[in-house]
Amino acid sequence: MNVSDLLMPYVGPAFVILFFGSMVVFAILGRKSAGKYLREIPAFTKLRHAVGLAVEAGTRLHVSLGRGNMISSSSASAVMGITILERVARAASISDRPPVATSGDPVVALLSQDTMRRAYRFIGADTRFDPSSAQLAGVTPFSYAAGTLSVVQDSQVSANVLVGHFGSEVALITDAAERNGVLTIAGTDDVSGQAVLYATAEETLIGEELFAGGAYLGAGSLHTASLRVQDIFRWLLVAAILGGAALKMVGIL
């Protein structure tokens, strides 16, 4: 057994511990400047405007959390969708027509219902909470798309926020939104879904921008800290890949 085989089991835990430690350090250091110095992402700027407009005009925001579930690799995008739903619901629940959430997984649907209830409690309007404002649209890709279409085509919806795990079926949803002349902001962790969204949605969140939602919507210093740590680790990965390629070229690896 060589040295790399001996070290390999410890690489994962070391990576997680380093990532965790960096997040804690940056969260403590950046408590007062959380949310500052972030580059502009047009999708989040438009989302903030859309929330304001919905409250003023008494229209509805639709947040769709995709088909991701909580027991697979797509759970992180579902959690991110729920974080964004909470921020949107807290800000827009005072509108005449409160936000509505759709999802393609029963557990995510229950969590989105819970999130909406929490948002109403936060603004002190528990009685206004309607359980049907968080809906399970369908459990297969196309049934989910078909179920979501009925919400997108509602004339009272002024913006659609699609954040979660989507495949190519998301084009049916974004196309319907565009036909209604409604703003669509969308992001997914699926590569083919991202290509489809780039072609069909008005504002697309590319790659890790999806996971920056909490920092841009003021969810706390830990969100901003995790963005900084992601940036640092991205550069480390780039250096490791280029370094590895260079070492391979000269025959060392």
Partner 1 sequence: MKLRAPFSTIVAVLSGLVVLGGYFFPQFLGEVRVTMLRWAVVMTAFALLAGVYNLLSVHIRKMQREKNAYSGILLISFVVALGFVLVSGPTGPWALWMAQYVQVPLEASMFAVLAVVLAYASARLLYRRTNLLAVVFVVTTLVVLMGMAPLYLFPEVQWMQGARNLVTQVLAVGGARGILLGVALGVVATGLRVLMGADRPYEG
Identify which of 57, 54, 39 has the alpha carbon closest to the alpha carbon of residue 231: 39
Site for partner 1 in 201-240 (CB under 8 A): 202, 206-208, 210-212, 214, 219-220, 222-223, 226-227, 229-230, 233-234, 237
d(CA 252, CA 243): 11
| Type of residue numbered 145 | A
Instruction: Provide the minimum distance between the beta carbon of 12 and partner 1 in the complex, in angstroms, as a whole number.
Output: 5
Instruction: Provide the minimum distance between the beta carbon of 4 and partner 1 in the complex, in angstroms, as a whole number.
Output: 17
Q: Which of 34, 50, 63, 79 binds partner 1 (CB under 8 A)?
A: 79
Q: Where are the beta strands (DSSP E) in 171-228?
A: 183-188, 203-205
What are the tokens at 161?
Answer: 């926020």
Q: Which of 19, 38, 48, 218 binds partner 1 (CB under 8 A)?
A: 19
The one segment of 12-20, 44-52, 56-64, 243-251 that binds partner 1 by CB under 8 A: 12-20
Q: Which of 140, 239, 244, 247 binds partner 1 (CB under 8 A)?
A: 140
Contact criterion met (CB below 8 Å) for 139 and 104? yes
Q: Which of 53, 55, 107, 123 binds partner 1 (CB under 8 A)?
A: 107
Instruction: Provide the minimum distance between the beta carbon of 180 and partner 1 in the complex, in angstroms, as a whole number.
Output: 15
Q: CA dist 151 to 59, 62, 64, 173, Å?
A: 13, 8, 10, 10
Q: Which of 25, 126, 142, 245 binds partner 1 (CB under 8 A)?
A: 142
Instruction: Provide the minimum distance between the beta carbon of 56 and partner 1 in the complex, in angstroms, as a whole number.
Output: 25
Instruction: Provide the minimum distance between the beta carbon of 39 and partner 1 in the complex, in angstroms, as a whole number.
Output: 14
Residue found by looking up tokens 């936000």 in the block: 99
Q: CA dist 6 to 2, 14, 18, Å?
A: 7, 14, 19
Binding mask 164-203 for partner 1 (x = CB under 8 A): ----xx-xx-xx-------------x-x--x-x-xxx-x-
Q: Considering the rule CB under 8 A, would residue 119 count as an interface residue with partner 1?
A: no
Q: Considering the rule CB under 8 A, would residue 145 count as an interface residue with partner 1?
A: yes
Site for partner 1 in 22-41 (CB under 8 A): 23
Q: Which of 9, 124, 181, 251 binds partner 1 (CB under 8 A)?
A: 9
Instruction: Provide the minimum distance between the beta carbon of 140 and partner 1 in the complex, in angstroms, as a whole number.
Output: 7
Q: Could you tell me how many residues of this chain bind partner 1 (CB under 8 A)? A: 75
Instruction: For residue 103, give the 3-state DSSP assignment.
Output: strand
d(CA 215, CA 224): 5
d(CA 40, CA 207): 15
| Type of residue numbered 170 | V
Edge to edge, the sheet with strand 183-188 lists 134-136, 100-103, 60-66, 157-165, 183-188, 203-205
